[in-house]
Structure formats: C-alpha cells, structure tokens
Structure 1
Amino acid sequence: MQTVEQALRALVTEGTQDGSLRPGSKLPTERALVAQLAAPRSAVRRALEILERDGVVIRHVGRGTFLTDTAAAQVDGAPADTSPAEIMQVRLLLEPQVAAQAARVATQADLDRIVDALAGGAVSDDFEGFESWDAKLHRAIAKATHNGLLMNMFDVVNTARALPVWGSLKRRVSTPERRRCYHDEHTAIVDALRDRDPDGAAYAMRHHLEHVSDNLLGRH
C-alpha cells in the first residue's frame, strides 16, 4: 500500500508527465490534497515537509506550495543532464510512429481527448498555457496507441520536457507567431488521426517535430 509521501510523489510525477505541472507550478492546497489522497491532514503536511526537504517543492506561507526548478530531475525518467538535442533526436525517432499507430487504433474517446487538448492550445495565448496543452496533446496521442510499454517509453521522454534546460530554451525561442504555427501543425496531425491516415499522421508529426527542432537548436 502506498504511503502518503509516495502518493504525493506519484501525483507530482503524473503531473510532470502530462504537462499539468512544471517548475513553478502551484500544487493543490493542503485541504485539496487531503481530499484527493484520502489522507489525514497531518500525514499530508508531513509528506509535504519531506518533499520540501528533498528539494521537490518549496512552500511560501500564505501563498502555497510550488514545484521547484530541480523537481523534474528528481522524477523517475530522463537523466537530469539530458540535452535538448537528445530530446529531439528521440522524439523524432519515436513520435511519428506513435502517431501512425494511434491513427490505426484510436477509439472515438481517444480522439475526443486529443481534440480537447488541441482546442486548449488554440485558446492559450501565453507560453505556460500553450506548453501545458502541447504536452497533453502529445501524451494523448501516445495514450491512443493502447500500448503500455510504448507509454512507459514515451513518459520517460516526456519527463525530459520538464527539465529546466528544456523549459528555459523553449521560453527563449517561443513567440506568439511560432505558437500559432505549432497549433496549425498540431491541427494537421489531428486531422490525419481523425481521417485514420497512418502515413499522413506520421508525416505531419515528423514535419512538426523537425520544425520544433530547427527553432530550438538554431537550424533555421
């Protein structure tokens, strides 16, 4: 049976992987965590103290509990020294085939979640909001493959997107124009998925990731 500390770490890991938690994100209040984890407030408070001691969170009186810049390095997954170039190399190897498989086997419920994530990105005009929906969209596509081993591999790569070096680089090169362009590329991927077109989905994903890689690494 999970301890409250383990359950809280799992919550942080899941949030980091699906893009809902990033360095600087505010965690739910103690009261909300008590309800979410079905644990006594004293146990939740002790678990938060342990995570703060380990550098995963920082607590500010009157403001709340926030994920630290080093939290991603403590989440099981990609090594803390993974470079943006390495991240993009692996994403280009993995995600086009993930998209192709999702086009073959996604259920309507999967497609609905993917479309919801696409819509979330469309109305996010700030960096943090768009990045969160971007991560959720790519993870929803991976989840639509219904392959547990592949999801484990994807989540290892996805944790790297929460590393400080990745976030700071993406923030530097992010502009409203680029976010609009990425949304158009996301739309092309989703259209191919809805059309059940594996080759089209793989092509659209590869085109998108090559564009992201060029922008991040200066090859443009």
Structure 2
Amino acid sequence: MRLLLMDGLRNGQLVAGSKLPTERALVDQLGAPRTAVRNALAVLEREGSITRHVGRGTFVADSFAANADAATVQAPQTSPAEIMQTRLLLEPEIAALAASQATQADIDHLHHCLARSEAAGTHVDFEAWDSALHRGIATAAHNTLLLRLFDTMNAARDLPVWGSIKRRSATPERRDGYEGSHRAIVDALTERHPELARERMRDHLLDVRGNLLGQH
C-alpha cells in the first residue's frame, strides 16, 4: 500500500489531499484480501500518512506527500543503546521546535494518536500508536531535514532486537508511566512551550532508556 502511494506521488497521479479509492476498489486493484487492505490503511493512518474521514473517504496527508522520499528509509543496523543515544540527542530538540512550529492540525493529530494509544488493547497496538505519536511530533516541527533524520532513526525501531527488548520490559505500570509522559509532552506542545516540551521529552526518553537498558 505504501508503494502504491509512493508511485502515485512520484508519477503525479496523487498529490497532497488526493482522495484514495475505496477499500473495495483497492482490493480489486491490488488483488489482496480486504482484511489486508484494511490493516495496511490502518497502519498508514497511525503513521499520519493518510487521513480518513467518515462519510468523505481517505486522503493523502500533506506531510506524507511533502516527505515521500523519507518514507522509504531502510532500518540501519544498530543496537538499542545506540538508538536511545540518538533519540536523546534528537527528539528533545524536535519537540522544542514542534512547540513553536506546529499547526492546529498537527496538534489535533497528536491528540488523536494519544487517545488511540491510551485506548489500545494490546502491546502491539500501543507500540504502533506510540511510534505514530513520536513521528507526529517530528512532522509538526515542519523541518524536512530533521524529519529525514528522525525517520532514519525511527526505522531502527522495526529491528527484531528492539521489538524483543520492548516486549520483555513491558509492564502495565510502565505503560501507565509512558501514557502519562506522552500526555505531558502533548500538553506542552499544545501550550506552545518549547522549553517544557524539550524537558518533558528528555525525561520521557530517560525513563524509556532506564526501563529498556537499566541505565537510570
């Protein structure tokens, strides 16, 4: 599904805001089961690549169209320790920039990701919306180069070693803590408070690093 969007953007058949075919039409076009198409659309929505409106349809998100090349980033070979080092260097500054650059649509998307992550019934769903929230913050900074750097770093979270260590460290208490941190970050962004956004993102990532790697 992602490749279909990428090809459409590159050949000019799709632009930001383009309406996508219906699920039924995509099933026919791709020759894929309807459940697979629906799941692929759900993933793209979580990432902020598409927007879906009841009664209107599904549309290409402005941010995805503007950063189509970044969406093809491959995961680098790295370690959880390197991932966390890079996140601590990059994401607090991204959050600070997003606090001053985010549009109301960006803020609305972050609240949507936050609500969906808190409502997630499984670890997998929570992790997906967690990732979508962090990418939404990077997108809200409206800096193409920073978003590319973020996507390169974030792709490493798809490596099996990262998923394994996150599952082993997951507890209900830690999820509660992450949800509280996420709410605090989104509140700082909503209040347009760069210093507070930077501080809360750094505190959140230090907590994540401690839970994953035992580095408190």
Please indicate, yes or no, whether the TM-score normalized by the shorter chain is above 0.5.
yes
The structural deviation recorded for 1:64 is: 6.3
Counterpart for residue 207 of structure 1: 203
Maintained 8 Å contact 1:77/1:157: no
Counterpart residue identity of residue 122, structure 2:
D
Distance in 2 separating the partners of 1:10 and 1:152? 19
- The reply on whether 1:198 has 2:194 as its aligned counterpart is yes
Q: Structure 2 stretches of 5 or more lacking a match?
A: 9-21, 41-71
**RMSD of aligned alpha carbons:** 3.0
Structure 1 position 35 matched with structure 2 position 32:
no
- Alignment deviations for residues 142-197 of structure 1 (CA, whole Å, 9 cap, x no partner): 11011111111111111111111100110000011101100000111011111111
Query: Shift of the alpha carbon at 1:32?
Result: 4.7
Q: Which residue of 2 aligns with 1:78?
A: 75
Q: CA deviation at 1:122?
A: 1.2
Deviations 1:82-131 (CA, angstroms, capped at 9, x unpaired): 10001111000000000000001111111000011111111124211110
Within 2, Cα distance between the matches of 1:216 and 1:7? 36
Cα distance change, pair 9–82 in 1 and its aligned pair in 2 (3 A): farther
Q: Could you list the runs of 5+ residues in structure 1 that have no partner in the other structure? A: 12-30, 49-60, 68-74
The answer for the alignment partner of 1:120 in structure 2 is 116
Change (3 A) 1:112 1:9: closer
Write the mapping of 1:1-220 to structure 2, written as runs, cut at 5 A. 6-7=3-4, 32=23, 35=26, 41=29, 44=30, 76-79=73-76, 81-220=77-216
- Secondary structure at 1:219's aligned position in 2? coil
8 Å contact kept, 1:92–1:206? yes
Could you say if the C-alpha distance between residues 134 and 33 of structure 1 is closer, same or farther in structure 2, counting changes exceeding 3 Å?
farther
Kindly state the Cα deviation for residue 6 of structure 1 after the two structures are TM-superposed: 4.7
Change in Cα spacing, 1:33 to 1:95, as seen in structure 2 (3 Å) is farther
Percent identical: 49
**Alignment size in residue pairs:** 171
Structure-2 change in CA distance of 1:131 and 1:108 (3 Å): same
Change (3 A) 1:207 1:10: farther
Q: 1:141 to 1:10 in 2, by over 3 A?
A: farther
CA distance in 2, matches of 1:109, 1:9: 23
Q: Which runs of 4+ in 1 moved over 2 A?
A: 4-11, 31-34, 63-67, 75-78
Using structure 1 for the length normalisation, give the TM-score. 0.68
Q: 1:101 to 1:64 in 2, by over 3 A?
A: closer
Task: Report the AA paired with residue 163 of structure 2.
Answer: G
Does the CA-based 8 Å contact 2:96-2:194 persist in structure 1?
A: yes
